[in-house]
């Protein structure tokens, strides 16, 4: 776990913030994930 670190991922459609663990060596570019946003109750793109 020495190469893992916590990243804060913010929703593009609301102010919801999600924390996730990512590998430092594999994530070099901007991180974008499509995750469920409980604030707006649908899937939204979350980016770092």
Q: CATH code at 21? A: 2.20.28
pLDDT one-digit tens code per residue, 29-42:
788 899 999 999 99
Mean pLDDT of the chain: 87
The number of folded domains in the chain is 1
Question: Which residues span the domain enclosing 42?
Answer: 4-47
- Give the tens place of pLDDT for each residue, 3-25: 778 889 999 999 999 998 888 77
pLDDT of the residue at 27: 67
Which residue blocks in 1-48 are alpha helix, DSSP H? none
Secondary structure (DSSP) of 20-48: EEEETTT--S--EEEEEETTTTEEEEEE-
| pLDDT score, position 48 | 82
């Amino acid at each position: 776990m020495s190469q893992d670190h916590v990243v804060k991922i913010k929703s593009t459609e609301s102010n919801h913030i999600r924390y996730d663990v990512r590998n430092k060596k594999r994530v070099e570019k901007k991180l974008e994930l499509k995750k469920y946003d409980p604030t707006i109750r649908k899937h939204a793109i979350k980016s770092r």
